[in-house]
Amino acid sequence: MYDKFNFNAISCGGNFADFSRTKERCGILETPHGVVETPAFIFCGTKASVKGVSPQQLMEAQTQIILSNTYHLFSYPGSEYIKKRGGLHKFMGWNGPMLTDSGGFQIFSLGLGSVADEIKGKRSGVSSLLKIDEDGATFRSYWDGSTQILTPEKSMEIQKNLGADFIVAFDECTPFHGDKKYTELSMERSHRWEKRSLGEFICRDDGSQALYGIVHGGVHADLRKHSAEFINDHAFFATAIGGTLGSTKSQMYEVIEMATTHINAARPIHLLGIGGISDIFVGVSLGIDTFDCVHPTRIARHGGALVKRAFRDSPTREHINLKRSEYEHDDNPIELDCDCATCQVFSRAYLHYLLKASELLALHAINIHNIRFMNRLMKEIRNTIKNSGSLKELRTIWC
């Protein structure tokens, strides 16, 4: 199992022996579709496409790894269909490393209105989640309204059909508003689901995929410790931190530390759904190897371009909104020092104009910048770690 996969932390200023779970690290994550240098950012290609950006353009922006969402692809066009097309890599034309999630997050998130709101502690929306029981989750498909059931075994089957390099055990995404008792019961059920996921994974294993376990336990240190130890004790290739991370930034950082303190450091560690720049610096310093989030590609659709501190208009935001009138006469690129395809050619004024004129090219061009921005950020973080530089100093430039 996992013969075609490998993870090695690499020398960080010659101080490899000093590694501990509370320190940043660089790694090499090997997959059948190539290598990922960590820390790395995983871009969301929710429905088997990163919004408007081709695989070629992802490569040009030096993207290492992308993900697709099992829930969406299961709903339409179906995983059997994608298997018949040769799997997700071939279907969407991406030959690099890829991850699919378990589908659980979307069931619980779409079920409760906005998942992102929910796990951050803002209650909203009406559930289209029909039932959770020991077997799995029953829900109404967003695509055609049909009743569907997802179980650990089904999630593994689907993810096998999709064929991503990394796949994720099926779990319940615990909401923030659950009390400790519910959080613990949910965690225990997630553990049973993850164990069933692992069993099913092993039955189907042909060496082409590696499985992530997910650590739960909400905002409770004892539960996080217990959950981390559970995952450590089972033959997952890597570990993801899931469930609610609390309702504030400081609580989020505490919760990440609660988990990383106990997670087996020999395995890659992924932080689910977090992609703010300052959050990434904290995550890296707590030992996170990979991140994913829709943020960079989602804000692009609304005119949001990620910029380093020097190019911002507000100290509190990590991006500029190119729809704003102050960019109407700004002939500079989004970032003066950016090497992305967009910054080589387009000014802020042109992008502002395209947004105002509802021209598709705007979203496309800003997306490419944001993707390249994240890849540059992660590369600078890796270089700083390798050269025993100061992440704190680097952070003052990027945040």
Q: Which residues form the interface with a second copy (CB under 8 A)?
A: 47-56, 76-77, 84-86, 91-93, 329, 331, 341, 345-347, 349-350, 353-354, 356-357, 359-361, 363-365
* Shortest Å, Cβ 272 to a second copy: 23
Clarify whether 101 is annotated catalytic: yes
The SS3 call for residue 261 is: coil
Dihedrals φ, ψ of 34, to 5°?
A: 115, 180
* Shortest Å, Cβ 47 to a second copy: 5
DSSP run (H or E) holding 155: helix 152-162
Q: Which of 101, 165, 171, 279 is catalytic?
A: 101
Q: And the tokens for 349?
A: 């004024």
Clarify whether 337 is annotated catalytic: no
In the chain, % helix, strand, coil (3-state, to 5) comes to: 40, 15, 40
Cis peptide before 97 (omega within 30 of 0): no
DSSP, res 123 = -
Q: Which residues pair with 41 in a beta bridge?
A: 291
Residue (80 or 133) nearer to a second copy, CB:
80
Contact (Cβ atoms closer than 8 angstroms) between residue 306 and residue 374: yes
Residue (129 or 361) nearer to a second copy, CB:
361
Q: Which residues pair with 108 in a beta bridge?
A: none
Residue 132, class by beta-carbon neighbours within 10 Å (0-12 exposed, 13-18 middle, 19+ buried)?
middle
Residue (205 or 330) nearer to a second copy, CB:
330
The SS3 call for residue 80 is: helix
Q: Which residues are catalytic?
A: 101, 292
